Amino acid sequence: MAAALLQGVADMKDVCNVVSDVFDSMFNATFPRNCHVKDLIGKELHFFLLHQALLKKLSEEDKQC
């Protein structure tokens, strides 16, 4: 939407509300809870496994000392 058009209707509350709703529908999204949880678990599990492997490696190096 052109900036000049938005400026022209800025004082019209009803038009601003409609434009706001349109922008909200364009730029807001819903993310199902089960997908969010699956993604979060995957990221945390990757982080945990990566650190667990690092700790194991450090522990093995300590045994060599």
Q: Where do the structural domains in the chain lie, given as residue ranges? A: 1-30, 32-65
List pLDDT tens digits, range 25-46.
Answer: 777 667 777 777 888 888 888 8
- Is the model's pLDDT at 23 over the cut of 70? yes
Q: Alpha-carbon distance 28 to 54, whole Å?
A: 39
- Tokens standing for 25? 């529908």
Cα 48 to Cα 16, 26, 41, 42, 44: the distances in Å are: 47, 36, 10, 10, 6
Global confidence as pTM: 0.35
Spell out a b/e string for 8-33, using b for 16 or more CB atoms within 10 Å of the CB, else e.
Answer: eeeeeeeeeeebeeeeeeeeeeeeee
54 band by pLDDT with thresholds 50, 70 and 90: confident
Question: What's residue 39's pLDDT?
Answer: 82
